[in-house]
Amino acid sequence: MNIVEVEQRHTSGLYSKQSIAIVRGRGASLFDSEGNEYIDCSSGHGVANLGHAHPKVAAAIAEQATRLITLFETFPNDRRAELMQLLTSLTPGLSRVFFCNSGAEANEAAIKFARISTGRKGIVAAMRSFHGRTFGALSATWNKKYREPFEPLVPEFSHVPFNNVEALDRAVGEKTAAVLLEVVQGEGGVYPADPAYLQAARCICSERGALLIIDEVQSGFGRTGKMFAYQHHDIVPDMVCVAKSLAGGVPMGAVLIGQAVRNLAPGLHGSTFGGNPFACAAAVAALTAILEEDLPRQAAEKGVYLLEKIRSIRSPLVREVRGLGLMVGIELKRKVAPYLKALLERRVIALNAGLTTLRLLPPLVITYDQLDQVVAALAEVLQSEITSTVEEFGL
């Protein structure tokens, strides 16, 4: 079977496909069907914080598959109870949890919880935000390219400039159910929030009876150098949405819920697969490994190392280097697609964030040797003249 050809023939059309089939992974490495090795600086958009094929996650999955895969949340379960304890122990002040299956679903749920809790309708999100592609989450997302083809969206959503306290102050009023923010805007270009901004957001929400929802779908689980990125900022949100890396690569999302969120009653919301023992077992193993290997600290140290190395690359193409931990953006003065292709030719898989920002989200277990190889590849492509023949690279 020619894997690439078969996928080309049957694809929905929604993804612009690479011409390399990836069949295996280990740590921060991926391998194609011919056995070539790549350094993964995408982590599947921030899913594989623990790297690929982590032995402890694999063992937990295999063991749980022989015990119990599915169980609706009305019946308590050993793995789910364990996960509830472990997850909420990482988020002081947020002691309840709703399980679902993706980032969009987590944000969707948080938006519904905010409306039901406050009796208000307004949701204030930020420009450049990304919260997912279901209708509620999409209504909170900023990019016109994702939104406009599907209008009309959900009413009563508005967007304010990120990191602008005055604009937020003006936008939040007595009709606002919630403010929904990322701590480091990921898809929007890797923009970290100012500490003063999140603290002001916390005050404004508390003062006016609105809830503060933090979307940690990409920034969570050690990625930025803390278990959750909001923990850099000394605030306690009312809800925290997580997904991507939560269950070590098995699909899972969750909303962590604080005391200010009220009126959640049986039947109001739910999910068939949410909180299934299989995903819960994977998540318990993943979180345990993240803690045992102290991946938040590793991400902090490797992030400082990587940012410094990237900043020392002398290239007229680079406009700005931004990042927190191992969530790194290199904003170019050109479109990023040809540079991603050139990196792939040097066996480094990287991402874009918008049209001109090159984004690196390596597994937090990446080695220093691999980081050096990534920097060497970056230096090569950013210092050579690459003629822009590639128009599409999934962008």
Annotated catalytic sites, by residue? Answer: 130, 215, 244
Should residue 102 be labelled a site residue for ligand PLP when binding is judged by CB under 6 A?
Answer: yes
Residue with tokens 């040097």: 346
Of positions 48, 100, 104, 284, contacts ligand PLP by CB under 6 A = 104
Tokens of residue 167, six digits: 């604009």
Smallest distance from ligand PLP to CB 251, Å: 8
Q: Which stretch binds ligand PLP (CB under 6 A): 84-92, 101-109, 170-178, 231-239?
A: 101-109
Of residues 169, 176, 241, the one with CA closest to residue 203: 169
Q: Which residues in 136-155 contact ligand PLP (CB under 6 A)?
A: none
Which residue type occupies 28?
Answer: A
Q: Does 218 bind ligand PLP (CB under 6 A)?
A: yes
Backbone region of residue 189 per phi and psi (left: phi > 0; alpha: psi in -120 to 50; beta: other values):
left
For residue 215, state whether it binds ligand PLP (rule: CB under 6 A): yes
**Beta carbon nearer to ligand PLP, 29 or 141:** 141
Please pick, from the candidates 48, 140, 227, 243, the single residue that binds ligand PLP as defined by CB under 6 A.
243
3-state SS, one letter per residue, for 294-356? CHHHHHHHHHHHHHHHHHCCCCCCEEEEEEECCEEEEEECCCCHHHHHHHHHCCEECEEECCC
Give the span between the Cα atoms of 52 and 64, in whole angstroms. 19
Q: Which two tokens stand for residue 346?
A: 């040097």
Query: Is the separation of the CB atoms in 90 and 78 below 8 Å?
Result: no
8 Å CB contact between 283 and 352:
no
Query: Which among 80-88, 90-98, 213-221, 356-364 is the span making contact with ligand PLP, rule CB under 6 A?
Result: 213-221
Residues that contact ligand PLP, how many (by CB under 6 A) = 15
Applying CB under 6 A, among 103, 122, 225, 296 the residue interacting with ligand PLP is 103
Contact residues: ligand PLP, CB under 6 A: 45, 102-104, 107, 130-132, 182, 186-187, 215, 217-218, 243
